[in-house]
Amino acid sequence: MIVTRSDKEGKGQKGDKDKIRRPYSPFIAVISIFLVLFILIPIGMVFLFHLPWYLSFVYPFGIPIGTILIIFGIWSIYLGIKGLRLVYSTSGYKKGESLVTTGIYAYTRNPMYFGATIMIFGWFLIFPFTFILTSAILFLLLFYITAKSEEKQLIQRYGKKYLTYKRKVPFFVPYPK
């Protein structure tokens, strides 16, 4: 009887290259999609529509406003993550099972998308390149589509409770009560 180790099984057989696990493939795919959607397409749109590469009228005044938007965006994302009450365990992150309607979620249903969007617009004000503005608009569109999709799942999961919350709290841009 011959016993072989599982880590040496199939060594030297035809087709081994297909069995090689590539742990970074999903990461590379995500980075590639990001580069195409939010850098190459906006730069291509600037050239295609003959838009100015740099919007100089924004520059001197945009830096303080952009810095404030970036800080507020990071703060909003932080509060959104904190509000979800993610708990780390040995098996990974676990979400709470109840609908979160307190904290920043009492002012906006999508604080992380809102924070990311204003952060990107803040970067545009600091570095007023047209492709960053175009990219910010694409991000806004992507966040809107994603949030609407998530909203359907939340309605299915929480039903009437979520619909009541939806009527009381704005979709994206928070406003004081």
Give the largest CA-CA distance in the chain. Answer: 80
Q: Is residue 16 part of a domain?
A: no
Residues 6+ apart with CB under 8 A from 119: 69, 70, 73, 74, 77
Residue span of the structural domain in which 109 resides: 26-168
pLDDT per position as a tens digit, 146-156: 999 999 999 99
Q: Is residue 161 part of a domain?
A: yes
pLDDT of residue 163: 94
pLDDT of residue 66: 93
Q: Is residue 20 part of a domain?
A: no
pLDDT per position as a tens digit, 103-144: 899 999 999 999 999 999 999 999 888 888 888 888 899 899
Angle 73-79-82 from CA coordinates, rounded to 5°: 140
Count: domains in the chain: 1
Low-confidence ranges of the chain (pLDDT < 70): 1-24, 86-96, 177
pTM of the model: 0.72
